[in-house]
Amino acid sequence: MREMMLIGHVLVVPYPSQGHINPLLQFAKRLAFKGVKATIATTHYTVKFICAPNIGVESISDGFDDGGFSQAKSEEVFLKSFKANGSSTLSQLILKYQNTDHPVNCVVYDSFLPWALDVAHQHSIYGAAFFTNSATVSSIFCRIHHGLFSLPLEPKNMPLCIPGGPPLEFRDLPSFLRLPESYPVYLAMKLSQFSNLEKADWVFGNTFHGLEAEVAKEICNHWPGKLIGPMVPSTYLDGRIEGDKGYGADLWNPLSEQCMKWLETKTPNSVIYVSFGSMVSLTEEQMGEIAWGLKESGFYFLWVVKEHDRIKLPKGFIELSKDEGLVITWCNQLEMLAHEAIACFVTHCGWNSTLEGLSLGVPMVGIPQWADQLTDAKFVADIWEVGVRPNEDEKGVVRKEELIKCLKVVMEGKRSQKIRMNSLIWKSKALEAIGEGGSSDKCITEFATFLSSN
C-alpha cells in the first residue's frame, strides 16, 4: 500500500559498492513510498545491477565505465576520476530533468562523495548527505577532522571517549585510526565526508534513535541531522512496501534457492550462518581456523565464501564437511537470516550486516577485520549485548578453539538465552523506529513533505 502522492524529485547518488548502494537504494524506496519521485544515479558499470520497483535509474560516469573500480589502477586514481567525471555527468543529469514535469529539487548523496553537494548547490537545489556507517563512527571521524583527536591514536591514551558514547579501547577503534599509514586514501576519504558538511541542507544517518540516541543527539547539535534507519527492506520490518524482499541491487550472483532447500531440511535454531560481506577477504590462515572451528563445533553451518576466496579453504574441506555444512559463493543474506533454522550469525560486523542482524533478531558472533567493523563489534558484544566477540591471538587471528567457545556461548546455555532475548528486544525497537509513526518514519515523512513544498 502506497501513501498519498506528493511532489518533488530526489536524485540519490551512492558510492558504487554493494554496501553503499544497498542502504541508499532502500532510502529511495522509502521516499517513493511517501510519494516522492526518486531516481538513483549510479555509475555506468553498476547501473545494470539495479532493479527496484517505482525507482528511476540513471547512470553517471566514474571514468571507468567498462569495469568500474577494478578498471582503475588504484583507489586514488578511481576517486580522483569519479570526482571529475561524476561531477560533470551529475550536473548533466540534473539539467536533463530541468524542463520536465519532474525537475530535480534535491540530491541525496553518499557522504563519501562530498563533491555531489557542490554540484547540487551550483544548480540551486538542495543537497543532503547520507552516512552509511554508525553515528558513533561518524562522530569519531568528525572529531579527528576538526583536530580534536590526533593520529595515530595510541593504546596509552585509551579509552577514547566521545560525547554520548561508551569508552572505547584500542581494539574497538576503526583500523584507519590505529594504523593511519595502512590505508591513507581510505582515511582521507573518511575525513573528506566533513569537508563541506556544514553546507548540507540535510544530514541523514542509517541508524535509529533507540540504538545510538545520545551520540546522535550530540551530532545533531552541529548539523541538521536526521536518523532514518534501519535501511533494511520493508518485508523484514514493517511490511508496508509491497514485495520489498531485497534491496534491488546484486553486484554478485546469489544462490538463494540452493540455500533455502538446504535450510528446509534443518530444525529451527540449529544452523550458524557465516558471511564476511562483499569486501572483506580473509587470510588463508584465518580461513583455515574458521573452517575447522565450524566443522568441530558440532553445529550445522551455512558459509558464504566468495569464488576468489575458495582457494584459501583447507584442501578437501567442502567434501569433508558436507554432512554438517553448505559452502556457497553468495546468497540473499536477509532471506537466510529470516529463516527459522538460523540461530546465529557469524559476521564481520559491517554496518549493513549489523543492522540486518539486529532487525531480524539474530544473535551474532562478531569477527571484525578492518575499518569501522571493530567499533561495530564492540557495540554488538558489550553495549547492545546481542552477541559475542572472539579474542584474536598475537597475530590477529581468531583460532578455532576461540571460535568454538563463542559459538557455544551463543548457541547453548544460560547466557545464550540472555543474548537471544536482547536480540528480540532490538528487533522490536528497529521495527518501532521504521514502522508507521516511529522516530525514523517521522524523519522520512518530514523530508518528503519538505521536498513537496520546495
pLDDT in tens, 212-228: 988 988 877 777 889 99
Residue 319: phi and psi, rounded to 5, are: -70, -40
pLDDT in tens, 36-79: 999 999 999 999 999 899 999 999 999 999 988 889 989 999 99
Q: What is the CA radius of gyration of the chain?
A: 21
| Number of domains within the chain | 2
pLDDT for residue 336: 95
Residue given cell 563533491 in the structure block: 115
402 shares its domain with 445: no
Distance CA 97, CA 86 (A): 17
pLDDT in tens, 72-98: 989 999 999 999 999 999 999 999 999
In a domain, 163, yes or no: yes
Residue given cell 576520476 in the structure block: 81
Distance CA 199, CA 119 (A): 12
What is each CA distance from 350 to 115, 265, 279, 326, in whole angstroms? 25, 29, 10, 23
Return mean pLDDT, the chain: 94
359 shares its domain with 338: yes
Distance CA 173, CA 176 (A): 8
110 is catalytic: yes
pLDDT for residue 142: 92
280 shares its domain with 159: no
In a domain, 48, yes or no: yes
In a domain, 2, yes or no: no
Distance CA 117, CA 111 (A): 9
Strand 342-347 versus strand 106-110 pairing type = unpaired
pLDDT for residue 433: 98
136 shares its domain with 277: no
pLDDT for residue 365: 98
Q: Kindly name the residue from 9, 20, 209, 348 that is annotated as catalytic.
A: 20
pLDDT band, very low/low/confident/very high, at 5 (cuts 50, 70, 90): low
In a domain, 4, yes or no: no
89 shares its domain with 131: yes
Residue 301: how many other CB atoms lie within 10 Å: 22
Distance CA 287, CA 434 (A): 37
pLDDT for residue 1: 44
20 is catalytic: yes
Residue 52: phi and psi, rounded to 5, are: -140, 125
| Domain containing residue 18 | 9-248+435-453
267 shares its domain with 168: no
Q: Residue 420 in 3-state DSSP?
A: helix
pLDDT for residue 257: 83
161 shares its domain with 283: no
382 shares its domain with 440: no
Cβ-Cβ contacts under 8 Å for 378 (sequence gap 6 or more)? 166, 168, 169, 172, 389
Q: Is the pLDDT of residue 250 over 80?
A: no
Task: Tell me the residue ranges of DSSP E strands in 26-65.
Answer: 37-43, 56-60
pLDDT band, very low/low/confident/very high, at 253 (cuts 50, 70, 90): low
In a domain, 53, yes or no: yes
Categorise residue 164: left if φ over 0, alpha if ψ from -120 to 50, beta otherwise. left
214 shares its domain with 271: no
Q: Kindly name the residue from 9, 44, 62, 110 that is annotated as catalytic.
A: 110
Largest CA-CA distance found in the chain, in angstroms, rounded: 65
183 shares its domain with 234: yes
Helix axes 209-219, 413-434, angle to 10 degrees: 60
Distance CA 275, CA 349 (A): 10
- Which CATH number does the domain housing residue 232 bear? 3.40.50.2000
Residue of 344, 405, 402, 354 whose CA lies nearest to 377: 354
- Here the cell at position 430 is 528497529
In a domain, 3, yes or no: no
Q: Is the pLDDT of residue 394 over 70?
A: yes
pLDDT for residue 3: 52
Residue 203: phi and psi, rounded to 5, are: -135, 120
pLDDT for residue 2: 52
66 shares its domain with 93: yes
274 shares its domain with 313: yes
Residue 289 CB burial class (10 angstroms; 0-12, 13-18, ≥19): buried
